[in-house]
Amino acid sequence: MASRDHTRPRTTQENPAIVSSKTRLGVTIYDIAKGADVSIATVSRVFNESPRVSPATRERVIEVARSLNYQPHVSAQSLARQNSHLITAVIPVVANYFYMEIIRGMQDALLESDYDLIMYAAPKPETAGNQLERAAQKGRSEGLLVLSTPLSEVRAKRLKASRRPTVLVDALHPDFDSISVDNRKGGYMATRHLIEQGFEQIAHITINPEAPPAAERRRGYEEALKEAGMKIDRALIAGGNKKPFGFVEESGCEAMLTILSRSPHPDAVFVASDVQALGAMRALREHGLAVPDDVALVGFDDIQVSAYVGLTTLRQPTYEMGKLAVQKLLHRIAHPEHPTTATVFSPSLIVRPSSDALKQKALRTKT
């Protein structure tokens, strides 16, 4: 795999990255990022003259931009100063499959508007409050997109007092427009699928501490087990706590190793995210166990790589969520008096070879 620039994304303690919604001839920073084999955050840093980009990477990005006849958004810095036609997204991390798809949806929706996007990275829950307060400051932008950040009543009250139009993504609050997925239902569907396949020792991998989406997926897992008259075995539940963000491959590997160390291995595992499921696969391989021959797996998200590894998963409409979030926010900016709306998507079960009970059964019969 080609090397990438791994400079960290900007935070609210620095100047935020300004991402142009439109470019000449329809070329976007996504095209440049793809051509230069870097992240969109790196492209944004290059155009904002950040010192946190290596000279070689900067030159590569500029060369690709030239070859595509890309013209940097000449008014970006002035927009930042004038606080005009900007919306702000507060997002846990940029370099994550789930959020990259949401951002792609946002970007495409912005192509149909005159707005540009500023992104603040908020990898630690304890820093989210400060970032929200900064993003909500008067004049910073005309609206906020808040991703996967639960609002306490104090935080919600402050955000409401700012009178900044706000849309929550992957979170819920009655005072704000929101877009989310029924995570409890997804956890139930995943576990029910494994039960119907005949698996009896079904483990669950979550994250520590549990963010609301992970907690709801675990609740669905436990509901399905109870409904089937199956015991909830705490030894079969583990959460990785790799920083700065729990839904990562290392977290899934860590949790899988924990489960394997506690008892005879389970015959199936519901994993709270596809990225963690990739880590769980690695841990199983290290123990000489194969998927699904020895242990079946079901993930959550349906990121692009899941199809290539044959992972059964619950699909979230991440691209659509990002696009709808921008559409809702622009509507809220234009019509601040309208009642709030909450859109809840239902996940879809995508069955692939990783949960093939028949293969496990055939192997057991042979032995």
Q: Residues 206, 210, 214, 217: what is their CA dihedral angle, to the nearest 10 degrees?
A: 80
Domain boundaries, the chain: 17-181+319-347, 183-315+349-366
Q: Which residues pair with 89 in a beta bridge?
A: 119, 145
Q: Supply the DSSP string of 260-325, one letter for each residue.
A: HHHSSPPSEEEESSHHHHHHHHHHHHHTT--TTTT-EEEEEE--HHHHHHT-EEEEP-HHHHHHHH
pLDDT in tens, 95-152: 778 888 999 999 999 987 888 888 887 666 555 666 666 666 655 678 999 988 878 8
d(CA 150, CA 142) in angstroms, rounded, equals: 21
pLDDT at 22: 41
d(CA 102, CA 314) in angstroms, rounded, equals: 16
Strand duo 237-240 + 312-315: pairing: unpaired
Q: Which top CATH class is 183-315+349-366?
A: alpha beta
- How many percent of the chain have pLDDT more than 70? 80
Closest CA to 31 of 61, 74, 1, 73: 61
Tokens coding 159: 């955000």
Q: Which amino acid is located at 22 in the chain? A: K
* CATH domain 17-181+319-347 topology: Rossmann fold (3.40.50)
Q: Which amino acid is located at 6 in the chain? A: H
d(CA 294, CA 278) in angstroms, rounded, equals: 16
pLDDT at 283: 96
Tokens coding 209: 């501490």
Where the chain has pLDDT below 70, the residues are 1-26, 49-50, 71-84, 122-140, 242-246, 359-367
Q: Mark 183-199 as b/e (b = at least 16 C-beta within 10 Å).
A: bbbbbbbbbbbbbebeb
pLDDT at 348: 97
Query: Do the domains spanning 17-181+319-347 and 183-315+349-366 agree at the CATH topology level?
Result: yes
Query: 113 near 21, Cβ under 8 Å?
Result: yes
pLDDT at 73: 53
d(CA 176, CA 167) in angstroms, rounded, equals: 6
For the entire predicted model, the pTM comes to 0.73
